[in-house]
Structure 1
Amino acid sequence: MTAEILQYLSVYLGSTLKIIIGPVLGVTYGINVWITGTLTTLGMMTSVYLVTFFGTWVRHQTQAYFKKRRKNLFSPKTRRYVKIWQEYGVPGIAFLTPVLFMPIGGALLANAFGGKKADIIKYMWISCIFWGFLLSFLVAFAGDLLPFLDLPER
């Protein structure tokens, strides 16, 4: 029982960092694909909630440290983020978060560009449910097509 709880917890916590970690761990542990999708979605949303509601406080606490380093404001990467924001807004950032950014990065980006918290939460929920279950099913039923994952036989 304890081992099973630890497996569920690792799928959940892995998804707070990067979405693909949850489905891969879920398949590795032999967890049901629906449970894996749910844990992946909840893990992603945990990091989105934490960044959205505590991100401003963390930014203010760490600003003094980062002000010491002078960094180029515009790079190709930041220009790409601005372009995504200008063309698609919060829905675009939310949709691309699992694919291009980590859940933390997508939430930071949406908050940094001034997205409303209610919109960020709403669109991130939609995106997380879509991508969490899609990737869980893909890894569970087509993961053997990616030999570098070294997933167990189902």
Structure 2
Amino acid sequence: MFEYFLVFLGAAIPWLEIALVIPLGIISGLSPVWVILTAFIGNMLTVLVVIVGFQKVKEWMESRNRKKGKAESKRTERGKRIWNKYGMPGVALLGPIVIGTHIAAFIGLLFGANKTNATVWMSISIALWSLVFGIATALGFDLFTRNF
């Protein structure tokens, strides 16, 4: 049970997320179904926190940048390029493998997606990538262990 809590916690932490936690959980011998489900819930809950708390963070960032006279960061510029090309579906679907789910949700909201749209697309993306990472790891690990 403690191992699944670690999967949950790892998936909730930005930069660890599902792309790393799911394969590690499955390779360590945990049930692929429970690892995928636990990681999805852990990642989705913290993404929801980002979506719900977005407005406060945006106001803080804008006031901070106005005071310092700062230009946009390279990450923000990269996010804008992705947004202009693909919109919220693209940012959400590319997020877990390019910039991380938390940053993808934040960028989508920053560039104008509403909270409902961001929540729906991030849910789809996290579910899809959880399945992809889980199934690929389970099948690959099973194939590897059978042949050696």
What TM-score comes out, normalization by structure 1 length? 0.78
Structure 2 residue ranges without an equivalent (≥5): none
Change (3 A) 1:12 1:80: same
Q: CA deviation at 1:116?
A: 0.9
1:150 paired residue number: none
1:51 paired residue number: 50
Change (3 A) 1:69 1:19: farther
Q: Does 1:38 align with 2:37?
A: yes
Q: Which runs of structure 2 are paired with 1:1-154 in the superposition (5 Å)? A: 4=1, 6-16=2-12, 17=14, 18-61=17-60, 71-73=70-72, 75=74, 77-143=75-141
Cα shift readout 1:103-153 (whole Å, capped 9, x = no counterpart)? 21111111111101111111111111110011012222225899xxxxxx5
Change (3 A) 1:28 1:118: same
Query: SS state of the match for residue 93, structure 2?
Result: helix
Q: Distance in 1 between matches of 2:32 and 2:90?
A: 27
Cα shift readout 1:24-80 (whole Å, capped 9, x = no counterpart)? 3312442211111111211221121000001222344566666665544264x4433
Structure 1 residue ranges without an equivalent (≥5): 147-152
The question of whether the paired residues in 2 share the 8 Å contact of 1:7 and 1:29 is answered with no
The question of whether the paired residues in 2 share the 8 Å contact of 1:11 and 1:26 is answered with yes
Identity %, equivalent residues:
27
Aligned residues: 143
